[in-house]
Structure 1
Amino acid sequence: MSHSLLSECSDKGLTAKGLERRRRILDAAKEVFLEQGFENASISDIMKRAGGSMTTLYRCFGNKLGLLEAMMQQSCDDLFASFDQDRIWSEDPASTLYRFGQRFIDMISRPQAIAMYRLVLSANSAEREQIQAVFYTSGPDRIRKLLTVYLEKQKTEGRLNIDCCTVAAAQFVEMIKQPWHLQALLGIPYDPALPERSLRQGVEIFLNGTTA
């Protein structure tokens, strides 16, 4: 995939009309990819829904994989918007981890987020490794890095005793996802109160092991 092609239709430098056109294409791409999967998704079907020309799509995104990458990035930017608000972070690890966990759980339990996970896990084309790498960078790795920065600050200021904040961030995220998230991915019904219980217990276990 050529990132030089992607840059031709990045948000920077686009007019309001250009931004609207780009958003329409990405929204249509999300619908089609989530409905049909990457392999079965049709570029022509996407453009029928979005309106516009195939030339515009290829100029902006390069190819179908480039379009998927841009769609995932846009979707994750939308989902991560709430994490960029400073009020989620405080000097109290217990309340911060709880608020962080609430937003994270809300984000990954949405039907479109579940569908995105399934799309990535079911990819079976030659681009499978690239699709998974794009998803990991845009989503799971991004959330881990956000929490790592916070934990490192708390460690530096003596509030938490952690050997490796990168590992600790990943461990906390995985702890509050289970077991309900795997059930959601597999379509297995689960108690709707389970995510909240997983979060509260996860925060307690994490702080019991890291509080200085």
Structure 2
Amino acid sequence: RGIQAGGLTDWTVERVRINKNGRVGWNGDLGSASSNSGKIILRDIEIAWNGCGERVATGEPWACWAQQTGGYGDGLGTAATGGQWLVEDAFVHHNTSDGLDFRYADGAPTTSVTLRRVYAVANAGNQAKVKGNALVENSLLVSSCAYFQGRDYMLADDNCRAGGNTLQLVFTQNNTATVRHNTITGQGGVLIGAIEGDSTNRLAIQNNVLIG
């Protein structure tokens, strides 16, 4: 693991690379005390090649693995969490599971995830997955989710897992999600997926380029 951190309040992480960790890049699951609060800011970061090792001599990523062989290669993943998350000016690529996995955000009125100027590409699952209140803007999301096909210890079911949807939104109740000014493309199931929730939720998709 690169970073194992949960139960945070008002953290800022800037100008950091979380790359080539044999398992998850940022693991936010510490058990029952994992939920975060306040402003959690990740700015000017790279999260890449997690789920892969690194050759000492060359720095080349190798021995990549994922769920089907017991690995866990999310770029960033949390347990149930609150907080106002901001991921800004980020390059998230070539992780062996999801790129940014906020599936376990708690969906509360005070919890939100903002992805701004994120370039996410070639992650083997969803490029970004967000539950609850969300803003995704000015980003480039490219689901070349079969990149790892035939590589190292990656198996067929590891590629394009969770449908390989480029952006996956998950709702609870009374959530608002806005997706605007992005370019979204990919080879997975859908470019923008929206699941769960009920009629109290609102989704606005504005001024995007969507290329299948």
TM-score (norm 1): 0.30
Structure number with bigger Rg: 1
The structure that is strand-richer by fraction is: 2
- Whose helix proportion is higher, 1 or 2? 1
Q: Tell which has more relative contact order, 1 or 2 (C-alpha 8 A, sep 6+).
A: 1
Could you state the TM-score of these two structures normalised by the residue count of structure 2? 0.30
